[in-house]
């Protein structure tokens, strides 16, 4: 099919959608999702904060940067959102009572969608339950969640509209979600839910097989991202570890400690903490590393940095649960990346990493490129739209539609 659709894409309350906020996975997913939809010839109406730079048919500003600063800022005018997010986690109200700026986002998004919507438009909810107040009032039949890498998606029981397909970033988070919604039950699946992986713009990644003599850890500065595992691996091999991420500082006596949640401490050693890395610094560090060590301790929904590493030709070294058995399949374990269970496994992987075929790593990583993933989305939207057509005419098939 070659159908063209209209999409109402819901943005973020706490951040404008730009490349500047590269460390926010939600921001970058929205940006790239809009790129994919526009490249397929669709219309995209993006609703979000002042300063957003999203390729779209129309950008609809729902609230201002000054309102974000008023809600979450602390007067640091060096930053457009009013606080030093290079050295701290982003501030929002995902788990709190909704802030005034969030309520304004809801009101304005509903108002502006109502002005523009047509019955067969899609509403793309990018933050699940957090954006439910908008979906409840807009009531578009083709309402869906296009990229679930979070634990707050809407179950069928939570919505008052019948059709609510969901696209999950991995089989892990799909099955986790189903199990959480019906614990200890033998649940049915949904034909209109899909697993569609995270997606990346190949223009952002330049392949190189020329590596420098260091390993890279990149992520939030929390224990559960596995930073201590990366430290132990490099300590065992007497290799340098470069650490990238928001939310930590080096003490006067040389220890690395988190700024907010003190759940780990790295002693002085052969590591360098560089803090937040902007787009260009991130490219340089990831492309030249021997490997990116991504030993997440919790069940990672996707963990985009390990695929970003592949796109630079740099093998990732990961744990063996969550998303990773899906992104580093058994037949390619040790070829495009390494899945590990014990410290010995991690050390062995780090020893082998310099000798992989870096071009194979890159070629496999391209499976997650926007130019490939966008057709998975097109198929999903086509399937949903066929169901919509079946609601208009009983002679038109939905799930049982055939083209012979």
pLDDT in tens, 102-131: 999 999 999 999 999 999 999 999 999 999
Total number of domains in the chain: 2
More confident residue, 188 or 111: 111
**Whether 336 and 380 share a structural domain:** no
**Could you tell me if residue 398 is inside a domain?**
no
**Whether 253 and 331 share a structural domain:** yes
Q: Confidence class of residue 62 from pLDDT cuts 50, 70 and 90? A: very high
**Could you tell me if residue 399 is inside a domain?**
no
Token pair for 138: 């807009």
List pLDDT tens digits, range 242-286.
999 998 999 999 999 998 888 999 999 999 999 999 989 999 999
Looking at residue 240, its pLDDT comes to: 98
**Whether 193 and 216 share a structural domain:** no
**Could you tell me if residue 325 is inside a domain?**
yes
Q: Confidence class of residue 187 from pLDDT cuts 50, 70 and 90? A: confident
Q: Confidence class of residue 371 from pLDDT cuts 50, 70 and 90? A: very high
Q: What is the CATH number of the domain that holds 285?
A: 3.40.50.2000
List pLDDT tens digits, range 373-384.
999 999 999 999
List pLDDT tens digits, range 132-165.
999 999 999 999 999 999 999 998 778 766 789 9
**Could you tell me if residue 402 is inside a domain?**
no
Question: In the predicted model, what is the mean pLDDT of residues 348-360?
Answer: 98
Q: Confidence class of residue 1 from pLDDT cuts 50, 70 and 90? A: low
What percent of the chain stands above pLDDT 70?
Answer: 99
Looking at residue 160, its pLDDT comes to: 66
Token pair for 13: 């309350």
Residue 397 has pLDDT above 70, yes or no: yes
**Whether 215 and 130 share a structural domain:** no
**Whether 381 and 362 share a structural domain:** no
**Could you tell me if residue 404 is inside a domain?**
no
DSSP β-bridge partners for residue 143: 123
Strand, coil or helix: what is 125?
coil
Looking at residue 306, its pLDDT comes to: 98
Question: In the predicted model, what is the mean pLDDT of residues 73-97?
Answer: 91
**Whether 129 and 236 share a structural domain:** no
DSSP β-bridge partners for residue 214: 240
**Whether 186 and 216 share a structural domain:** no
Q: Confidence class of residue 209 from pLDDT cuts 50, 70 and 90? A: very high
**Whether 105 and 196 share a structural domain:** yes
Looking at residue 258, its pLDDT comes to: 92
Residue 239: partners with Cβ closer than 8 Å, 6 or more residues away: 213, 214, 215, 233, 270, 290, 350
**Whether 171 and 238 share a structural domain:** no
Distances (CA, A) of 15 to 81, 135, 140, 380: 7, 20, 25, 28
- Whole-structure pTM value: 0.95
List pLDDT tens digits, range 283-325.
999 999 999 999 999 999 999 999 999 999 999 999 999 999 9
Looking at residue 159, its pLDDT comes to: 77
Question: In the predicted model, what is the mean pLDDT of residues 189-201?
Answer: 96
Nearest to 369 by CA among 282, 286, 311: 311
DSSP state of 337: B
Nearest to 286 by CA among 231, 340, 344, 219: 219
Q: How far is CA 319 from the centre of its chain?
A: 18
What percent of the chain stands above pLDDT 90?
Answer: 91
**Could you tell me if residue 188 is inside a domain?**
yes
Token pair for 175: 């099955």
Nearest to 86 by CA among 271, 221, 226: 221
Host domain of residue 194 = 6-200+371-392
**Whether 211 and 166 share a structural domain:** no
Average pLDDT score over the chain: 95
**Could you tell me if residue 400 is inside a domain?**
no
Token pair for 91: 């501030």
Looking at residue 94, its pLDDT comes to: 87
**Whether 239 and 169 share a structural domain:** no
Residue 186 has pLDDT above 70, yes or no: yes
**Could you tell me if residue 126 is inside a domain?**
yes
**Whether 17 and 155 share a structural domain:** yes
């Amino acid at each position: 099919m070659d159908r063209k659709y209209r999409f109402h894409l819901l943005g973020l309350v706490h951040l404008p959608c730009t490349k500047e906020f590269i460390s926010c996975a939600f921001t970058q997913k929205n940006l790239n999702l809009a790129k994919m939809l526009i490249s397929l010839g669709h219309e995209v109406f993006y609703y979000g904060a002042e300063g957003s730079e999203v390729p779209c048919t129309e950008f609809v500003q729902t609230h201002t940067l000054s309102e974000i600063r008023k809600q979450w800022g602390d007067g640091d005018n060096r930053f457009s959102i009013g606080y030093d997010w290079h050295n701290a986690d982003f501030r929002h109200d995902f788990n709190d009572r909704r802030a005034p700026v969030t309520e304004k986002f809801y009101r304005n998004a509903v108002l502006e969608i109502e002005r523009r919507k047509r019955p067969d438009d899609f509403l793309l909810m990018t933050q699940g339950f957090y954006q439910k107040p908008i979906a409840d009032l807009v009531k578009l039949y083709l309402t869906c969640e296009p990229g679930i890498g979070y634990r707050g998606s809407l179950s069928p029981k939570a919505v008052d509209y019948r059709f609510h397909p969901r696209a999950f970033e991995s089989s892990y988070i799909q099955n986790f979600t189903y199990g959480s919604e019906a614990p200890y039950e033998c649940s049915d699946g949904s034909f209109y839910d899909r697993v569609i992986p995270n997606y990346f713009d190949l223009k952002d990644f330049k392949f190189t097989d020329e590596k420098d003599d260091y390993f890279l850890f990149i992520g939030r500065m929390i224990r559960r991202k596995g930073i201590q595992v990366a430290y132990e691996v490099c300590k065992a091999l007497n290799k340098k570890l470069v650490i990238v991420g928001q939310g930590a500082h080096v003490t006067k006596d040389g220890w690395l400690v988190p700024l907010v949640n003190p759940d780990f401490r790295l002693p002085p050693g052969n590591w360098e903490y560089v803090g937040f890395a902007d787009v260009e610094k991130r490219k340089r560090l990831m492309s030249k590393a021997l490997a990116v060590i991504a030993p997440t301790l919790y069940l990672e929904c996707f963990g985009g940095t390990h695929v970003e590493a592949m796109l630079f030709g740099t093998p990732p070294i990961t744990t063996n649960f969550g998303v990773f058995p899906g992104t580093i399949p058994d037949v390619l374990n040790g070829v495009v990346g390494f899945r590990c269970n014990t410290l010995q496994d991690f050390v062995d992987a780090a020893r082998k990493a310099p000798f992989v075929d870096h071009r194979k790593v890159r070629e496999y990583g391209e499976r997650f490129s926007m130019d490939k993933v966008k057709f998975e989305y097109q198929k999903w939207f086509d399937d949903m739209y066929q169901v919509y057509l079946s609601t208009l005419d009983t002679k038109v098939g939905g799930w049982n539609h055939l083209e012979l």
